[in-house]
Amino acid sequence: MTIALSKETVRKAISAHSALGLVCCALLYLICATGTAIVLYEEWQRFEQHDAPEMTAIAPAAIQRGIENVLATESDGPATTHLYVHLPTDDLPRATITTDTQAVHLDRNGSIAMPEENAWAEFLLALHYRLNLPAVVGMSLVGLFGAMLVALTISGIAAHPRIFRDAFRLRARRGDDVATLDWHNRLAVWTIPFVLAIALTGTMIGLFYISGSGLAAAAYGGDSEAALAPVFGGEPEGDASPAPIPDVAPALSYMEREYPGTRPYYVILHDPGTAGQHMQIVAEHPRRLIFGEYYAFSGDGDFRGTAGMADGTVGQQLAASTYNLHFGNYGGLPVKIAYILFGLAMTTVVATGTFIWLDKRERAGKPSPYLRASWWSLVIGVPVGIVATFVARLMLGNEAPFVAIFWTICLLTVGVSLLRCKRRQLSLEGRERAFSRT
Indicate the pLDDT class of residue 167, thresholds 50, 70 and 90.
Answer: low
Residue 18, amino acid: S
What is the pLDDT at residue 374?
86
Characterise 328 by phi-psi region: left (phi > 0), alpha (psi -120 to 50), beta (else): left
Residues 218 and 349 occupy one common structural domain? yes
Query: Is 321 part of a structural domain of the chain?
Result: no
Q: Poorest-confidence range of 257-271, 315-329, 382-396?
A: 315-329
Query: Is 319 part of a structural domain of the chain?
Result: no
Partners of residue 112 on adjacent β-strands: 106
Q: Mean pLDDT of all residues in the chain?
A: 86
Partners of residue 303 on adjacent β-strands: 297
Partners of residue 114 on adjacent β-strands: 105
Residues 147 and 132 occupy one common structural domain? yes
CB contact set of 68 (below 8 Å; sequence gap of 6+): 245
Residues 418 and 428 occupy one common structural domain? yes
Alpha-carbon distance of 29 to 263, in angstroms, equals: 36
Q: Is 312 exposed, middle or buried (0-12, 13-18, 19+ CB in 10 A)?
A: middle
Q: How does pLDDT run across 261-287, given as a tens digit for each residue?
A: 999 999 999 999 999 999 999 999 998
Q: How does pLDDT run across 279-324, given as a tens digit for each residue?
A: 999 999 998 999 999 999 998 889 999 999 999 889 889 989 999 9
Q: Which of 153, 195, 191, 202 is nearest to 326 (CA)?
A: 202
Indicate the pLDDT class of residue 75, thresholds 50, 70 and 90.
Answer: confident
What is the pLDDT at residue 19?
45
pTM, two decimals, is 0.86
Residues 64 and 78 occupy one common structural domain? yes
Query: Is 320 part of a structural domain of the chain?
Result: no
Is 385:410 a contact under the CB 8 Å cutoff? yes
Query: Is 276 part of a structural domain of the chain?
Result: yes
Partners of residue 276 on adjacent β-strands: none
Residues 218 and 337 occupy one common structural domain? yes
CB contact set of 315 (below 8 Å; sequence gap of 6+): 231
Per-residue buried b or exposed e for 340-361, using 16+ beta carbons within 10 Å of the residue's own CB: bebbebbbbbbbbbbbbbbbee
Mean local confidence (pLDDT), 168-185: 67
Report the percentage of the chain scoring pLDDT > 90: 54
Residues 85 and 187 occupy one common structural domain? no
Distances (CA, A) of 218 to 211, 212, 222, 223, 224: 10, 10, 7, 10, 11
pLDDT at 342 over 90: yes
- 3-class SS of residue 385: helix
pLDDT at 173 over 60: no
Distance of CA 399 to the CA centre of its chain: 22
Mean local confidence (pLDDT), 216-225: 64
Residues 387 and 399 occupy one common structural domain? yes
Is 28:202 a contact under the CB 8 Å cutoff? no
Indicate the pLDDT class of residue 176, thresholds 50, 70 and 90.
Answer: low
Largest distance between two CA atoms of the chain: 95
Inter-helix orientation angle 135-159/7-38, to 10°: 140
Half-sphere exposure in the Cβ direction for 25 (13 Å, CA): 24
Query: Is 315 part of a structural domain of the chain?
Result: no
Residues 140 and 210 occupy one common structural domain? yes
Contacts of 182-186 with C-beta under 8 Å, sequence gap 24+, read 183/348, 183/352, 184/348, 184/349, 184/352, 184/353, 184/356, 185/160
Residues 42 and 153 occupy one common structural domain? yes
- 3-class SS of residue 206: helix
Q: How does pLDDT run across 48-60, given as a tens digit for each residue?
A: 999 999 999 999 9
Alpha-carbon distance of 379 to 357, in angstroms, equals: 15
Residues 431 and 386 occupy one common structural domain? yes
Q: Which of 263, 246, 258 is nearest to 297 (CA)?
A: 246
Determine which helix (DSSP H) or strand (DSSP E) holds 269, and give its type and residue range: strand 263-270
pLDDT at 436 over 90: no
Domain ranges, residue 84: 52-117+235-306
Number of compact structural domains in the chain: 3
Residues 78 and 149 occupy one common structural domain? no
Residues 134 and 43 occupy one common structural domain? yes
Mean local confidence (pLDDT), 92-112: 96
What is the pLDDT at residue 364?
83
Q: How does pLDDT run across 105-143, given as a tens digit for each residue?
A: 999 999 999 999 999 999 999 999 999 999 888 999 999
Query: Is 313 part of a structural domain of the chain?
Result: no
Q: How does pLDDT run across 343-370, given as a tens digit for each residue?
A: 999 999 999 988 888 888 888 887 878 8
Query: Is 274 part of a structural domain of the chain?
Result: yes
Is 100:380 a contact under the CB 8 Å cutoff? no
Residue 274 is given by DSSP the state B
Distances (CA, A) of 5 to 8, 192, 380: 8, 20, 37
Characterise 287 by phi-psi region: left (phi > 0), alpha (psi -120 to 50), beta (else): left
Query: Is 16 part of a structural domain of the chain?
Result: yes
SS3 for 269-312 is: EECCCECCCEEEEEEECCCCCCCCEEEEEECCCCEEEECCCCCC
